[in-house]
Amino acid sequence: MNDKRLGVFMLRSYEAIYEHGVMKWLGDKPPIKQAHVIVTILADKDVIDVPVQKKHLPSPVIAGKGKILGDIITPVSPAEEWSCLE
Protein backbone atom coordinates (compact mmCIF):
# COMPACT_ATOMS: atom_id res chain seq x y z
CA MET A 1 0.00 0.00 0.00
CA ASN A 2 1.36 3.41 -0.94
CA ASP A 3 1.60 6.02 1.74
CA LYS A 4 -0.15 8.59 -0.45
CA ARG A 5 -2.86 10.28 1.51
CA LEU A 6 -6.24 10.05 -0.09
CA GLY A 7 -8.90 12.27 1.29
CA VAL A 8 -11.51 14.84 0.53
CA PHE A 9 -10.39 17.49 -1.91
CA MET A 10 -12.01 20.90 -1.96
CA LEU A 11 -12.28 22.25 -5.48
CA ARG A 12 -12.40 25.96 -6.15
CA SER A 13 -13.30 27.58 -9.43
CA TYR A 14 -11.48 30.54 -10.92
CA GLU A 15 -12.43 32.15 -14.18
CA ALA A 16 -9.69 32.92 -16.67
CA ILE A 17 -9.06 33.37 -20.36
CA TYR A 18 -6.24 31.39 -21.97
CA GLU A 19 -4.62 33.32 -24.82
CA HIS A 20 -1.39 32.38 -26.56
CA GLY A 21 -0.14 30.26 -23.65
CA VAL A 22 -0.97 32.82 -20.94
CA MET A 23 -3.74 32.65 -18.33
CA LYS A 24 -5.51 35.99 -17.84
CA TRP A 25 -7.51 35.92 -14.61
CA LEU A 26 -10.96 37.52 -14.77
CA GLY A 27 -11.53 37.65 -11.05
CA ASP A 28 -9.61 36.54 -7.99
CA LYS A 29 -6.27 34.98 -8.81
CA PRO A 30 -5.66 31.73 -6.90
CA PRO A 31 -3.05 32.10 -4.13
CA ILE A 32 -0.79 29.37 -5.53
CA LYS A 33 2.45 29.00 -7.47
CA GLN A 34 1.59 25.76 -9.27
CA ALA A 35 -1.59 23.76 -9.82
CA HIS A 36 -3.14 20.93 -11.77
CA VAL A 37 -5.97 22.45 -13.82
CA ILE A 38 -8.90 21.19 -15.83
CA VAL A 39 -9.90 23.40 -18.74
CA THR A 40 -13.45 23.69 -20.07
CA ILE A 41 -13.76 25.15 -23.54
CA LEU A 42 -16.78 27.39 -24.09
CA ALA A 43 -17.37 27.58 -27.82
CA ASP A 44 -19.81 29.65 -29.83
CA LYS A 45 -23.10 28.01 -30.77
CA ASP A 46 -22.26 28.52 -34.45
CA VAL A 47 -18.99 26.62 -34.10
CA ILE A 48 -20.33 23.49 -32.45
CA ASP A 49 -22.09 21.06 -34.75
CA VAL A 50 -24.11 18.98 -32.32
CA PRO A 51 -25.60 15.90 -33.96
CA VAL A 52 -29.36 15.71 -33.62
CA GLN A 53 -30.53 12.53 -31.96
CA LYS A 54 -32.83 10.53 -34.16
CA LYS A 55 -36.20 9.62 -32.74
CA HIS A 56 -36.16 6.10 -31.36
CA LEU A 57 -38.39 3.80 -33.34
CA PRO A 58 -39.53 0.38 -32.18
CA SER A 59 -38.33 -2.66 -34.05
CA PRO A 60 -40.47 -3.62 -37.06
CA VAL A 61 -40.57 -7.12 -35.56
CA ILE A 62 -43.01 -5.91 -32.87
CA ALA A 63 -44.96 -3.45 -35.03
CA GLY A 64 -48.73 -3.96 -34.78
CA LYS A 65 -48.49 -6.60 -32.05
CA GLY A 66 -49.41 -4.40 -29.07
CA LYS A 67 -52.84 -4.85 -27.50
CA ILE A 68 -54.81 -2.68 -25.11
CA LEU A 69 -56.32 -4.82 -22.39
CA GLY A 70 -59.10 -3.11 -20.47
CA ASP A 71 -59.84 0.53 -19.64
CA ILE A 72 -56.83 2.84 -20.14
CA ILE A 73 -58.65 6.01 -19.01
CA THR A 74 -59.92 5.18 -15.52
CA PRO A 75 -57.22 5.11 -12.80
CA VAL A 76 -56.55 1.80 -11.06
CA SER A 77 -56.90 3.37 -7.61
CA PRO A 78 -59.38 6.08 -6.56
CA ALA A 79 -58.14 9.71 -6.40
CA GLU A 80 -58.59 9.70 -2.59
CA GLU A 81 -55.62 7.28 -2.33
CA TRP A 82 -53.23 9.49 -4.33
CA SER A 83 -50.61 10.95 -2.00
CA CYS A 84 -49.59 13.58 -4.58
CA LEU A 85 -52.97 15.34 -4.16
CA GLU A 86 -52.47 15.89 -0.43
Per-position DSSP letters for the chain, written without gaps between them: ---------------EEEETTEEEESSPPPS-S-----------TTT--PPPPPPP---GGGTT-----S-SSS-SS-GGG-GGG-
Q: How far is the C-alpha of 79 from the C-alpha of 32, rounded, in Å?
A: 61
pTM to 2 decimal places:
0.35
Report the pLDDT value the prediction gives residue 2, as an integer from 0 to 100: 42
For the chain, the domains span 9-44
Residue pLDDT tens, the chain, 86 long: 344 555 666 778 888 888 888 888 888 888 888 888 888 887 766 655 667 777 888 788 988 888 888 888 888 888 888 877 66
Q: How far is the C-alpha of 14 from the C-alpha of 31, rounded, in Å?
A: 11
